[in-house]
Amino acid sequence: MNYSKITFTLSMAALPLLALAEADISKTAQKTEKAPEYVETDLGEVPAHSSAELKYVKSDKAFTDAEALALAKKSQNPIANMRSFKFQNNTNTGIGPDDSTQNMLNVMPILPFKISDDILVISRTIIPIASQPDFLTSEGDGRVNGVADTNMQFFFSPIDLGESGIVWGVGPSFLLPTATDDSLGQEKWGAGISGILLAQPGRWVYGGVASNIWSVGGAGEKDVNMLTLQYFVNYNFDGGWYILTSPIMTADWEADTDHRWTVPLGGGFGKLFKIGSQPLTAQVSAYKNVVTPDDYGADWQVRAMVMWMFPRK
């Protein structure tokens, strides 16, 4: 086992975690003509990290419907001005002739910070912990478990969104060769660009994220040129419940056309809740891959997610 890569990966996770504990997010208040309190105001028409920022007071009391709607919409905005820590588990089934199963647990600390009066930067680190079936590993290795390659994204987003309320962000994305086994990663350093656009009218949150990464060095034999697209649609009900669809589409531009695209369709549901005074959201969903690489592509993906949220006080 490559302990140096494990140490490096844990360090990548520790940096934003330390910032989660110490960052003074209270200085990132948005420009506004009105500043409603979180506990009193239905913010259904207000985009997260826009003109009306929440003043959240921890309490073990149950959410009101207005509180649940406001915080649920922030949790559904990937670049909200809110610190959070997410675990997202993706189970891919029907791989190869033996219908093997692959599991990928993504550990995702998310940290926004202000770099000027006008610009907010949101850092998103994705550390995958993988269980790779023997069909996708070197002959004789059997199933391989460990850390895969880490992806770090930085979105630069305007603090004052203007009258449109459209949330957008753009910035660099980096691939770090942190895999603890050759079958879990590309052995390549990579860099690229990511962008996001979303709207939050009423009870809806919908938008899309796009990212492309190219390899820039490393010992791996195969170059990396990978596109990731994800659209998302959420509708929120009273009581913190919501329904969603957020399929992740990918295109490997280095592969031939029969092995290039993965296109899933599906959806699921989620719920905002508290453990004591700590707000969380959890969701489950399932997706059928209507397009998948020949020979080794998965047929289905089942996704489960839980997010710890740390709203600005």
pLDDT digits (tens, 9 = 90+) for 124-139: 999 999 999 998 988 7
Per the structure, how many domains does the chain have?
Answer: 1
pLDDT at 295: 87
pLDDT at 141: 83
Computed on alpha carbons and rounded to an integer, the radius of gyration of the chain in Å comes to 20
pLDDT at 300: 98
CA–CA distance, 60 with 106 (Å, rounded to integer): 29
Percentage of the chain beyond pLDDT 70 is 81
Range of the structural domain that residue 67 is part of: 3-310
User: Which string of DSSP letters, residue by residue, matches 228-264?
Assistant: EEEEEEEEE-GGGEEEEE--EEEEETTS-GGGSEEEE
Output the domain CATH number for residue 289: 2.40.160.40
For the ranges 53-67, 94-108, 198-212, 289-303, the lowest mean pLDDT is seen at: 53-67
pLDDT digits (tens, 9 = 90+) for 144-172: 999 999 999 999 999 888 778 899 999 99
Q: What's the whole-model pTM score?
A: 0.84
| Structure tokens that stand for 277 in this block | 């005074």
Percentage of the chain beyond pLDDT 90 is 73
pLDDT for 42 beyond 80: no
pLDDT tier, 50 (very low <50, low <70, confident <90, very high otherwise):
very low
| Structure tokens that stand for 44 in this block | 């259904």
